[in-house]
Amino acid sequence: MPSFDISIKFDKTEIKNAVQQIEKEISNRFDFKNTAANVSFEDSKIVCVGENDFQIEQIKEIVYQKFGKRKVDVRLLRINEKEHIGGNKIKQVFTLLEGVDPENSKKIVKFIKEQKIKVQASIQGVSIKVSGNKKDMLQSLITILRKNFEQLPLSFDNFRD
């Protein structure tokens, strides 16, 4: 019975490479010279530090640009509120999505059932397993899901016949 998994995941090495490129650009740009602006990658978070809102916005633009060049989906980023940290520094944390959260899992499974396609969907932790009798049905379902859940960077893995 053909099946596949729906999940949200990112390539850690690509993220690290993008962050290194961001750090390099920040160190080379004239508007960041002699400032405390920097970026770091820890666990599944990218931490941006700047001296004012303008610098944080510029860093955010650089993040989007470098992610695009490395073909990392920017929809993986969840941007947290800016917070003031000691002195004249501002910090903003970008959290990277990994795994489909329970709320979105339920929405996706409900949506699949509403489509009246002969497939079964079950939530398995942070991923969703979808199985059906025909490969064509599963492929059409992938297309439908991509159209209707554009805000989520869904990845479709483990496609088996």
DSSP codes joined into one string, 11-51: -HHHHHHHHHHHHHHHHH-GGGTTS--EEEEETTEEEEEES
Residues 91 and 119 placed together within one structural domain of the fold: no
**Residues 80, 108 within the same domain:** no
Beta bridge partners of 123: 128
For the stretch 55-113, pLDDT in tens is 999 999 999 999 999 999 999 999 999 999 888 899 999 999 988 989 999 999 999 99
Q: How far apart, in Å, do the first and last CA atoms of the chain sit?
A: 6
Q: What is the pLDDT of residue 26?
A: 93
In the chain, how many domains are there?
2
Task: Judge if 71 and 109 occupy the same domain.
Answer: no
- By residue range, what is the domain housing residue 116? 3-8+99-160
Q: What is the pLDDT of residue 86?
A: 82
Among the candidates 53, 69, 96, a domain finishes at 96
Specify whether 58 is located in the same domain as 123: no
Give dist(CA 105, CA 107) in Å, integer: 5
Give me the amino acid identity at 33.
K
Is 39 a residue whose pLDDT tops 90?
A: yes
